[in-house]
Chains A and B, each alone.
Chain A
Amino acid sequence: MAIELKMPALSPTMEEGTLAKWLVKEGDFVKSGDILAEIETDKATMEFEAVDEGVISSINVAEGTDGVKVGTVIALITGEGEEPAPAPSPKPVASSPVETPAQRAPVPTMSDTQPIETSSVTANGNMQTVTLREALRDAMAEEMRRDDRVFVMGEEVAEYQGAYKVTQGLLDEFGARRVIDTPITEYGFAGVGTGAAMGGLRPIIEFMTFNFAMQAIDHIINSAAKTNYMSGGQVRCPIVFRGPNGAAARVGAQHSQNYAPWYASVPGLIVIAPYDAADAKGLLKAAIRCEDPVVFLENELLYGRSYEVPMGDDHVLPIGKARVMRAGTDVTIVSYSIGVGLSLEAADRLAEDGIKAEVIDLRTIRPLDKATVLASLAKTNRLVVAEEGWPTCSVGSEILAICMEEGFDDLDAPVLRITNEDVPMPYAANLEKATLVNVDKIVAGVRRTFGV
């Protein structure tokens, strides 16, 4: 019987990848441990090893093929002495993959997901389709070209090209002076970055994830956020702390947490949590140019998604301005980061029932664009907050308070927080799925505001 070799998942969130190179050809004898192929995603490259012994009887996916779904049969091995199986008809690359742990992970579906592809200029005039990851990288590269004071520092940002490949290529272009690998020493390098900012540079400090920034939160809050005030405006701290925030997939409690409410409670900080690639780029550029310290919260699950981004290096967005993602008259769904995609999808579903939901992406969590939220509430008279994070003392709690204090007369129903469950993130797939906010929960929450 031929053994099927399937496209492996390199990470918990990988859905597909590129079969970059075959290191064996049909008819080769391979034994366990031999390297068969190189697999690439936008995040990493990995060598694919044989675990069985036998002869490569067929190669089903040619090298250089992009978008090979995890689980696709890429080659067959025949055990010694067996008849080579007839070459199977080549499966379409996009065939539905077998279930892998990565597939079972509750990757939120996005209403405006576009097919994943590499950067390309689209027909749409001066827009370009890029992944969110590339958009972030482009933002940094453009700002580094523009201003020599800008540098990137963090764990694995240089030679490894970024733990999540966000800084890919920066070392090549800017060299080791400006793209700096640090030891694993979050408190220390957050302090080094903050001190460098006080001294006049414009650091971008990457945290591998914001979970690890807990070790550095003292410098973010006590040193970066407060010094301008404590010094009566003398010592500025133009620094960006950035990295993935929020739940990834199947990584358990210590690697899955949304820190937006933590940082958003601190005067002296700017907190940004973009949803799509255009915002990620435009807001990161604004953050780098900003004279104030910025906490820039990305989302790992969105890194590989592609979106339209304006071309050119002048796409800078205003900090502190929310945007209406979808207009509606019956209810407002306020969200940010990954929750925006869920909210848009919920709005689609609600539309089927005749409920016209307005979806607001906060984009900046601090300072919060109250005016946009309250104007929408005044129009719809109903509001829910959809947030991938805990409910207690959340951004949702804050929006709720604002609606009570400043929009009370506009309310026809209580404001609801539709969030993750109030528990540490469990690992088991079913429990994790049950914990996270999702489209169903948002739809149900909106219906409750109508008393159904």
Chain B
Amino acid sequence: MATTPAKKSASKKSSVSEDAARANRERPTEPVPYKATKEELLKFYRDMLLIRRFEEKAGQLYGLGLIGGFCHLYIGQEAVAIGLQSALTPGKDSVITGYRDHGHMLAYGIDPNIIMAELTGRAAGISKGKGGSMHMFSTEHKFYGGHGIVGAQVSLGAGLAFGHKYANDGGVCLAYFGDGASNQGQVYESFNMAELWKLPIIFVIENNQYAMGTSVNRASSEDQLYRRGESFRIPGIQVDGMDVLAVRGAAEVALDWVRSGKGPVLLEMKTYRYRGHSMSDPAKYRSRDEVQSVRDNSDPIEGCKAYLAEMGVSEDALKVIEKEIRKIVNESADFAETSPEPDLSELYTDVLVEQY
């Protein structure tokens, strides 16, 4: 058990000041780690643990053939979704992401049963079994998916932000994308319009170091991805994405900036994916040691546990949470396995909304 906060792998915590020196423009303030209460921290822990255990279970169900196709697990990246989404105002702000979306759904507190049932392609799934792992949505939570085309969610997110501004509803859009996606052309088209029109959007690069088997350095000429908005005058902040309090702290700064009408901001979350890109991953492009070293030194859940220990939360209290989470996850697996497949009559529904 780690007794001190885990050592962080991210090379730099933040580079706001360095950028400010380069360009004489107003910048968001340097983020500081969020000062969570014990209750908040316990919730972060619980929520991250739910994602971890849920994803492990999904991996098992995949192995059993209950989940098909592509299944991208979020293990290792839990602090990003939890740290950021815990700072949003439910019902007001919107979120959009790519295909690695289970964690973002769970972060909203959406029932794990209907998420798992979507993974197994069941009628009770959140998309009635028609979307699958990569395509989940919850308009109730203003969660807009769930997109399989790398980078598409960035333009779509700019559109959601456009909607917030148009309706003047005070909402902000959080658009997540990967380090690989950050090389897509439409990302920059969206950066340009977002800054030009001062759209209320937080661009979040989940830099988990790899796009499938391609490391950032093999794909990106500027590998400090928080700088990718520079030429559009979008301030960028690099954040330790393995530390939920650092993430939440950055979320506060970013939300302040965006809510005050100053336009978009770019957060680069330095994080790591423990598992393969999807379930079929040759695992040849990185060493086992590399993965193990991140697990040992920077795990977001272990880090959170260490903070909790500092606050005097006992190991036993955490065990209770662990037990509760395992129960929820097992139940979701049972539910997803036993609930019926969609009726064949669903094949032709939802193609169009109206009848012509």
Q: Is the CB of A187 within 8 A of B155?
A: yes
Interface mask (B123-143 → A, CB under 8 Å = 1, otherwise 0): 001111111000111110000
Contact of A233 among B157, B163, B349 (CB under 8 A): B349
Given A187-B186, A231-B146, verify A270-B356 contact (CB < 8 Å). yes
Task: Tally chain B residues at the interface, Cβ within 8 Å.
Answer: 48
For the complex, give the distance between the alpha carbons of A263 and B207 in Å: 35
For the complex, give the distance between the alpha carbons of A443 and B299 in Å: 75
Task: Tally chain A residues at the interface, Cβ within 8 Å.
Answer: 46
Q: Chain B residue with minimal CB distance to A267?
A: B351
Q: Is the CB of A201 within 8 A of B139?
A: no
A187, A188, A189, A222 interface centre (most CB from chain B within 10 Å): A188
A200 contacts chain B at the CB level, 8 A cutoff: yes
B343 contacts chain A at the CB level, 8 A cutoff: no
Q: Is the CB of B156 within 8 A of A292?
A: no
Identify the stretch in A190-198, A305-313, A404-412, A429-437 within 8 Å (CB) of chain B at 4 or more residues: A190-198
B152 contacts chain A at the CB level, 8 A cutoff: yes
Q: Is the CB of B163 within 8 A of A200?
A: yes
Q: Is the CB of A320 within 8 A of B96?
A: no
B144 contacts chain A at the CB level, 8 A cutoff: yes
Q: Is the CB of A191 within 8 A of B137?
A: no
Identify the stretch in B17-25, B189-197, B259-267, B307-315 within 8 Å (CB) of chain A at 4 or more residues: B189-197
Contact of A183 among B146, B163, B196 (CB under 8 A): B196
Q: Is the CB of A185 within 8 A of B145?
A: no
B104 contacts chain A at the CB level, 8 A cutoff: no
Q: Is the CB of B356 within 8 A of A318?
A: yes
B164 contacts chain A at the CB level, 8 A cutoff: yes
Q: Is the CB of A230 within 8 A of B154?
A: no
Q: Is the CB of B131 within 8 A of A232?
A: yes
Q: Is the CB of B125 within 8 A of A192?
A: no
Contact of A195 among B138, B148, B155 (CB under 8 A): B155
Contact of A232 among B128, B149, B186, B193 (CB under 8 A): B128
Q: Is the CB of B350 within 8 A of A194?
A: no
Contact of B190 among A188, A199, A200, A231 (CB under 8 A): A188
* A183 partner residues in chain B, CB cutoff 8 A: 189, 192-193, 196
A392 contacts chain B at the CB level, 8 A cutoff: no
Q: Chain B residue with minimal CB distance to A268?
A: B351
* B159 partner residues in chain A, CB cutoff 8 A: 191-199
Contact of A182 among B127, B163, B193 (CB under 8 A): B193
Tell me the minimal C-beta distance from B105 to chain A in angstroms: 12
B185 contacts chain A at the CB level, 8 A cutoff: yes
Q: Is the CB of B351 within 8 A of A235?
A: no
Interface mask (B155-194 → A, CB under 8 Å = 1, otherwise 0): 1111111111011000000000000000001100110110
B94 contacts chain A at the CB level, 8 A cutoff: yes
Q: Is the CB of A219 within 8 A of B356?
A: no
* B161 partner residues in chain A, CB cutoff 8 A: 195
* B147 partner residues in chain A, CB cutoff 8 A: 222-223
Q: Is the CB of A230 within 8 A of B158?
A: no
Tell me the minimal C-beta distance from B346 to chain A in angstroms: 8
Q: Is the interface of B mostly helix, strand, loop or mixed?
A: mixed
Q: Chain A residue with minimal CB distance to B163?
A: A199
Q: Chain B residue with minimal CB distance to A203?
A: B159
Q: Chain B residue with minimal CB distance to A197?
A: B159
* A196 partner residues in chain B, CB cutoff 8 A: 159-160, 162-163, 166
A49 contacts chain B at the CB level, 8 A cutoff: no
Contact of B149 among A200, A223, A236 (CB under 8 A): A223
* A177 partner residues in chain B, CB cutoff 8 A: 166
Tell me the minimal C-beta distance from A363 to chain B in angstroms: 11
A234 contacts chain B at the CB level, 8 A cutoff: yes
Q: Is the CB of A199 within 8 A of B193?
A: no
A192, A194, A230 interface centre (most CB from chain B within 10 Å): A192
B289 contacts chain A at the CB level, 8 A cutoff: no
Q: Which of A308-360 contact B (CB under 8 A)?
A: 318-320
Q: Chain B residue with minimal CB distance to A226?
A: B135
For the complex, give the distance between the alpha carbons of A236 and B144 in Å: 10
* B139 partner residues in chain A, CB cutoff 8 A: 231, 234-235
Given A229-B130, A267-B351, verify A191-B356 contact (CB < 8 Å). no
Given A196-B162, A199-B160, A234-B127, verify A191-B152 contact (CB < 8 Å). yes
Q: Can you give 9 contacting A-B residue pairs, CB < 8 Å?
A: A183-B189, A183-B193, A185-B193, A187-B155, A196-B162, A196-B166, A199-B159, A230-B146, A291-B353
Binding site for B on A (CB under 8 A): 151, 177, 182-183, 185, 187-201, 218-219, 222-223, 227-236, 238, 267-268, 270, 290-292, 318-320, 364, 367
Binding site for A on B (CB under 8 A): 94, 96, 125-131, 135-139, 144-149, 152, 154-164, 166-167, 185-186, 189-190, 192-193, 196, 349-354, 356
